[in-house]
A and B are shown apart, each in its own frame.
Chain A
Amino acid sequence: MARKDGRKADEMREVKMEVGVLRNADGSARVQIGKTIAVASVFGPRELHPKHLQDNEKAVLNCIYMMAPFSTTERVRPGPSRRSHEISLVTKSALEKVVNLKDHPKAVIDVYILIEQANAGTRTAGINAASLALADAGIQMSDLVTSIASGKVDGEYVIDLSGDEEKITGCDLPVAYLPRSKEITLLQMDGDLSKADVKGVLKMCIRGCEKLHKIQVDALKKKWEAETSK
């Protein structure tokens, strides 16, 4: 089956990743997947204020997902929404396992994700960017976090739904995957799938994440090679 935009079922939209895009941040990255663009910036570890929020045993990972008001066809009301609250929460859950928080008690690591333009798959693009930004900030990590969504359109499993596809299918399964430990740290789903379908779609996500991992590594190498040759 050919998809509307000519892609194969297991073909992602064009992926671009760039590390070190914002000067003031300790780490930053921009990830573009098709028409979706996410920028992540990381600050820290730094002292957490107010102090009562501090954790004496480990750093706090603070994740904020936000959409620019101009990022979609209809203006998004600025400020947090119910949707953005939930995405911030699942993003934190997706990232926290790989970050070395133990060595920085009482500190905070702030991860800010801004969706500059939205065309489906914003949370997964944001997680890819956040993972790169954390690595760029020099924060110890046990793994990179890769993320992609898949779904079922016209009876076939397809990866990385575009905005148009998302409208017709109503079935979406975003996953975040740790390529080294082969574990899953983000798993959500909405739609109507049998158990076998869920398994098939999940496997497709994992294969996609493995491809994304290579692109992430290349993006990181590219930045640090440029940095060291200066």
Chain B
Amino acid sequence: MAGINIQKKYISALAKDGKRIDGRKPDEFREISIETGVIPNAEGSARVRIGETEVLMGVKIDIGTPFPDTPDEGVLMSGAELHPMASRRFETGPPDAESIELARVVDRGIREAHAIDTKKLCITPGEKIWMVMIDAHVMNHQGNLIDACGLAAMAALSTARMPKLDEEGKIVIGEKSDEPLPITTKVFPVTVARINGRLMLDPTLEEEDTMDVRLTISTKDDGNITAMQKGLTGALTMKEIEEAIDMSIKKGKELRKLL
């Protein structure tokens, strides 16, 4: 315990001068690596690493029935698994608030941007539609899971291929077509952490333990904002919110170049 507290104090003291424990600048990410198509059985997949944080994202596409209020639209569903394999902090059991929030924040950015044109995922109005299910498996938790999952989701979705249909309109199991998903824009969530009054991007696990508030902002290609989510118990001023938005828009532009 004492060791953790000493580290928190150190991180906090460094932050005051805009410095970080690993020498990064406040708006600098750790090294990012993106591999796509890593799971042949999934329609789309990506393994994303941000520093030591590692997330595996899979897209499954299946035929389903539409919701009664949107008979001519496909369906997007998101999940996130925070399994004990990724961190001693996680426990087995049904999804807890943390993993639900993670999945929902990533989902919201994509959904609100209409990044997937769900109208084009309709097969027979009122009867058959495509269901797109994106699931994140956190493999190693070293901080900033929202951004890692957001990046992985976009990487997996933009490289996914639709399943192949036979003459009767049924899915040919184990085969994919050449057709991509109808993607209209790319969306990236960027999370801003506040440590000792300073705003920083891409917090490590230790920095997350020290931050008192975070704000996730999802932006699309035209720079517009499609989702925001404040987390933790700290309070933000209007000025900080504006600064965070600027940081997220700028970083979003950089992340766009990676895909």
A contact residues vs B (CB 8 Å cutoff): 82-83, 85-86, 88-90, 92-93, 96-97, 170, 173, 178, 181-195, 198-199, 202-203, 206
Contact = CB atoms under 8 A, between A and B. Distances in A.
Interface of B: 95-97, 100-101, 103-104, 108, 111-114, 215, 220, 223-238, 241-242, 245-246, 249
A206 B229 CA distance: 17
Contact of A184 (B97, B103, B231, B241): B241
Contact of A178 (B95, B220, B232, B235): B235
Contact of B233 (A86, A97, A188): A97
B13 to A, nearest CB: 21
B101 A86 contact: yes
B225 A198 contact: yes
Nearest to A189: B228
Nearest to B68: A74
A83 B111 CA distance: 15
B97 A194 contact: no
Contact of A85 (B100, B112, B234, B245): B100
Nearest to A182: B237
Given A82-B104, A86-B104, A181-B235, A188 B97 contact: no
Contacts of B114: 192
> Which among B237, B238, B242 has the greatest number of chain A C-beta atoms within 10 A?
B238
B230 A186 contact: yes
A83 to B, nearest CB: 8
Nearest to A181: B235
Given A97-B233, A182-B238, A190-B108, 14 more contacts: A82-B104, A85-B100, A86-B104, A92-B233, A93-B233, A183-B236, A184-B237, A184-B241, A187-B236, A188-B228, A189-B229, A192-B114, A193-B226, A198-B228
B225 to A, nearest CB: 5
B225 A90 contact: no
A93 B242 contact: no
B6 to A, nearest CB: 17
A192 B226 contact: yes
Contact of A187 (B103, B215, B220, B249): B215
Given A97-B233, A183-B235, A202-B241, A190 B100 contact: no
A194 B223 contact: yes
Contacts of B103: 82
A226 B83 CA distance: 53
A188 B230 contact: yes
B112 A191 contact: yes
A83 B230 CA distance: 16
Nearest to B230: A187
A192 B224 CA distance: 6
A90 B230 contact: yes
